[in-house]
Amino acid sequence: MKWLWVCCVLLCSLSVSAQALRVGFGTHKPPYIFENQARGLEHDIVMTAAQRGGMEPVAYYAPMERLSLMLSKGQLDVIATTNERSGGAIFYSDAYIRYQNVAVALRSRNLDIQRISDLVGYSVNAFQRARFLLGSEYQAMAENNPRYREEAFQIARNRMLYSGRVDVVVTDMRILRYFNREVYAQVDVSQPLALYPIFAPTDYKLGCRQQADCERFNQGLAAIRESGEYRTIGRRYAMY
């Protein structure tokens, strides 16, 4: 009976050694976040790194504006897909993923877009908090463009682009291409597109209420990079 008691003590100690971590992710945006399947390139990197850092992450999904509010109220411990440009009195982890956003329009519109400031003359739809995350020039454009909007749901950008309801969408092309397969019966996704590469790559980090959470995540992130697990996760989604 004594050995059973020892085993129980050991199991209990192991169960409490890992720290619970409430992680906020944005809404469905494959291949980065498959919301209803608890997977995705970004999801897997964050959850795996947190686990390697000795934490027990639990994922929550919501629009980015709501996530920021939930973090400020202490309803979440960390949020994904953010960086220092987003502001707030929080801590930031090391960068764990890079997005490459582009401005996209129907080629038939023959738009003249050479730089970010040129977007001020067009109707633009982007992801939530893009006005903060894409830099000061972009924020100035957004504030001075009465036809600028941010939309929580990525699929809406595809519908608006191909239906002609907006001049320009700002998105990562991997996300746009994925959602084409979900909207092709609603809009003509065969229309040629014009891509305007006016954005630098965007590195994303965790935003943390507690610095210790960022530090433990950073340790886990370094561990999966060194072990090769980070590359393995990347290969899992290379098809998209």
Supply the pLDDT for residue 83. Answer: 95
- pLDDT digit string (tens) for 173-209? 999 999 999 999 999 999 999 999 999 999 999 999 9
Supply the pLDDT for residue 87. Answer: 80
**CATH number of the 18-98+202-236 domain:** 3.40.190.10
- What span, in angstroms and rounded, lies between the C-alpha atoms of 177 and 173? 6
Same topology between domain 18-98+202-236 and domain 101-196: yes
- pLDDT digit string (tens) for 151-170? 999 999 999 999 999 999 99
Question: For 101-196, which CATH class?
Answer: alpha beta
Domain residue ranges of the chain, discontinuous segments joined by +: 18-98+202-236, 101-196
Closest CA to 99 of 162, 21, 164, 45: 45
Tokens of 37: 């399947």
pTM value > 0.85:
yes
The Cα diameter of the chain in Å comes to: 80
- What span, in angstroms and rounded, lies between the C-alpha atoms of 190 and 74? 45
